Structure 1
Amino acid sequence: MLRWTIIFIILAIVAGILGFGGIAAGAAQIAKILFFIFIVLFILSLIRGKR
């Protein structure tokens, strides 16, 4: 899942440089959502690992 976050961040940066504002905003939003999901899953795995 972290891989997808990185892919969408790179896509947002490239689209922003090329001037595609709508595409960049959409890719950045997807990257944010995936990043927060990754963080939650990471914290849950840390908690379960201690048990």
Structure 2
Amino acid sequence: MPSDAVIVVLLPVGAALLLFSLVRILEFRRYSVLNLLVFTTGVAGLITSLLALP
């Protein structure tokens, strides 16, 4: 089970990456590999931190 520090770090980082990539994709209409990688990393961070919540 991950510690609370992991949750505290992953939740905002995942949310920030998700928002950043969504804004870039919607603003520039570019579906580049980097944008999609940042997007999936953000989603993975959010899911991981939410699953780790008690």
TM-score, normalization by structure 1: 0.64
Question: Alpha carbons of 1:31 and 1:10: their partners in 2 closer, same or farther (altered >3 Å)?
Answer: same
**Structure 1 residue 8 and structure 2 residue 42: aligned?**
no
Structure exhibiting the larger radius of gyration computed from Cα positions? 1
* Corresponding position of 2:47: 36
Larger helix proportion of the pair: 1
Identity over the aligned pairs, expressed in percent? 5
**Structure 1 residue 22 and structure 2 residue 29: aligned?**
no
Contiguous gaps of at least 5 residues in structure 1: 46-51
Aligned length: 43
CA RMSD of aligned residues (A): 1.6
8 Å contact kept, 1:2–1:34: yes
Question: Alpha carbons of 1:24 and 1:9: their partners in 2 closer, same or farther (altered >3 Å)?
Answer: same
TM-score, normalization by structure 2: 0.61
Higher relative contact order (CA 8 A, sep 6+): 2
Runs of 4+ in 1 over 3 A off after TM superposition: none
